Amino acid sequence: MSRALPVEGRVAAKRPGGGLSPRSRRSGETPTPNPSPQGGGARVLVMGIVNVTPDSFSDGGRFLDPEAAVDHARRLIAEGADILDIGGESTRPGAAPVAEANEIARVVPVIEAVRRESAIPISIDTMKPAVARAAVAAGAGLWNDVTALTWSPDSLATAAALGCGVVLMHMQGEPRTMQAAPRYDDVVAEVSAFLAARAAAAIAAGVARERIWIDPGIGFGKRAEHSLALLRNLDRIVALGFPVLVGVSRKRSIAGIAGDASREDQRLGGSIAAALAAARAGAAAVRVHDVAETVQALAVAGAIGEVSPA
């Protein structure tokens, strides 16, 4: 069973060898608002990352040029991505803040170009309401906000007015300093309570319940042991009743667990292990850099019966 998405744009059947080309997606079903993706047996969706930034932690500078970013997006679509997450500002500790106009100038041409070729659901990875507005106007259907709509007093109302899906992610502190001294008494309980409260705030502001996703924010103000506790207890986040997005791909916590993986390109094995574990625990989607490898791992795990089949 394929999983419905609370974003504009339809996910068609696909998978290795049958990855949709941009052209075949264009043939164009009408994008439909989707019902809640909760429900047993659905396969996990793969969200491919497109960082249009000079300084993202693992691929900064590779896709800052819009043509390179669009090429990368095409490749992720061909590899089987279900959603593209396009961002113009890095959230890694110490990353330089980006002015609103620059962030818009980075992401909008890429979103427009992808949208011209493909109906793949697009999410915009930003904290800024103005960037979310511009991105949705350009064709994005999901606002992925690592601040869970807390960055601006306008965030909640903007999300409600846009009518798009939203990802509410947990972060302790703010990106510049979040890894300095993360501290929790009970990380799973605190993250769960935060996500439940932000979902309630979004609903109270007028965001439709079925458009809300939640994300425990692996590595955002968390030591490896905190991220591990969240992954071990992901079922408690899933039990909150919203689709759960999990992003572990290439993150430093993998090196914290497995040692000898100081370079981001040495973390593929750990990234896949975490994506499979998240899928088993009921995540709705995994956010990854390495789409082909993740899709393959999920297909094999699905065929074996470890996760819901592709």
In 3D space, the residue among 194, 126, 124 whose CA is nearest the CA of residue 154 turns out to be: 126
Binding window for ligand HH2 (CB under 6 A); candidates: 23-31, 49-57, 152-160, 233-241 = 49-57
Binding window for ligand HH2 (CB under 6 A); candidates: 85-93, 158-166, 223-231, 290-298 = 85-93
- What is the helix (H) or strand (E) element at residue 139, kind and residue range? none
Burial class (CB in 10 A: 0-12, 13-18, 19+), 64: middle
Tokens of 200: 């309630």
Q: Is 287 an annotated catalytic residue?
A: yes
Report the Cα 230 to chain-centroid distance in Å.
Answer: 17
Q: Give the span between the Cα atoms of 44 and 100, in whole angstroms.
A: 33
Q: Between 128 and 167, how does the x/- string for binding to ligand HH2 read (CB under 6 A)?
A: ----------------x-x--------------------x
Binding window for ligand HH2 (CB under 6 A); candidates: 89-97, 102-110, 128-136, 270-278 = 89-97
Nearer to ligand HH2 by Cβ, of 20 and 120: the residue is: 120
C-alpha angle with apex 218: 169 to 68, nearest 5 degrees?
Answer: 85
C-alpha angle with apex 126: 123 to 132, nearest 5 degrees?
Answer: 70
90 binds ligand HH2 (CB under 6 A): yes
Q: Which of 53, 172, 179, 233 binds ligand HH2 (CB under 6 A)?
A: 53
Q: Is 251 an annotated catalytic residue?
A: yes
Nearer to ligand HH2 by Cβ, of 20 and 245: the residue is: 245
83-87: strand order across its sheet: 212-215, 165-169, 142-145, 122-125, 83-87, 45-51, 285-288, 245-246
- Among the listed residues 251, 263, 267, 280, the single catalytic one is 251
Mind telling me the catalytic residues?
Answer: 251, 287
**Interface residues toward ligand HH2, by CB under 6 A:** 49, 51, 53, 56-58, 87, 90-92, 125, 144, 146, 167, 169, 215, 217-218, 245, 247, 287
